[in-house]
């Protein structure tokens, strides 16, 4: 497939979502207990659906089952995204943020750049369910990044699993919760990009919207 224009694809997805925000109830993950830090999403998801913006997320870490095309249940993933428009036009650059934070995890504090030290310390505090925001200089751009743990909803992915490491999410600047953008809002180009390395033959059909309108 030809190289995707992430900026154009994002614009289409944002227009789709603004036209008809998602309202369905978020299904409860049977394995998740109330003391799980992710449980907060059941209190916040309606506000994220109502007020959320579409961004690109880069997978940092994920339950291995989420990268398998089995019928396994929904699972957690650590992702990084940014509300900076340059970062959303170039989401493949987000991997450098992830590599820096993870890469310095076991490094002595005195050897970590001063501007990254607070973020690395935050990650050390809770590497299983990290959720924090920080500023990061990325190719001359001061990017506000959000390292977040989310529940990846399989039925909202065009292939049914994490066949790609970059995918669209819904998030707000106020809340910790990040949600999988339902595939009915994904652009055709983004669906194809996400499915490049997929082990499935078909994608979920986008029947609710005519993309030519956007």
Q: What is the DSSP string of 114-166?
A: TTTHHHHHHHHH-SSS--EEEEEEETTEEEEEEEEEEEE-GGGSTTSS--SSE
Which residues, 6+ apart, have CB-to-CB distance to 160 below 8 Å?
A: 69, 154, 200, 204
pLDDT above 80: residue 207: no
* Residue 72 confidence (pLDDT): 78
Percent of the chain with pLDDT over 70: 92
**Domains in the chain: boundaries:** 6-22+35-204
* Residue 112 confidence (pLDDT): 96
* Residue 197 confidence (pLDDT): 80
Compare 199 and 195 and report the one with higher pLDDT.
Answer: 195
**17-65: per-residue pLDDT in tens?**
999 999 999 999 999 999 999 999 999 999 999 999 999 999 999 988 8
**Average pLDDT over every residue of 105-134:** 95
């Amino acid at each position: 497939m030809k190289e995707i224009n992430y900026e154009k694809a994002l614009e289409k997805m944002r227009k789709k979502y603004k036209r008809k925000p998602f309202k369905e109830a978020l299904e409860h993950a049977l394995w998740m207990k109330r003391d799980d830090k992710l449980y907060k999403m059941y209190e916040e998801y309606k506000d994220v659906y109502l007020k959320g913006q579409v961004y690109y997320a880069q997978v940092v870490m994920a339950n291995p089952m989420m990268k398998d095309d089995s019928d396994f249940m929904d699972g957690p993933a650590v992702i990084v995204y940014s509300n900076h428009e340059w970062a959303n036009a170039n989401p493949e650059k987000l991997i450098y943020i992830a590599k820096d934070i993870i890469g310095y995890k076991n490094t002595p504090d005195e050897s970590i750049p001063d501007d990254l030290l607070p973020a690395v310390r935050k990650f050390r505090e809770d590497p299983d369910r990290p959720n924090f925001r920080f500023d990061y200089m990325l190719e001359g751009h001061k990017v506000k990044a959000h390292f977040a743990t989310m529940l990846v909803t399989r039925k909202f992915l065009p292939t049914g699993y994490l066949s790609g490491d970059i995918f669209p999410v819904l998030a707000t600047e106020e809340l910790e919760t990040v949600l999988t953008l339902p595939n009915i809002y994904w652009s055709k180009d983004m669906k194809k990009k996400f499915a490049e390395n997929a082990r499935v033959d078909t994608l979920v059909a986008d029947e609710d919207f005519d993309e030519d309108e956007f």
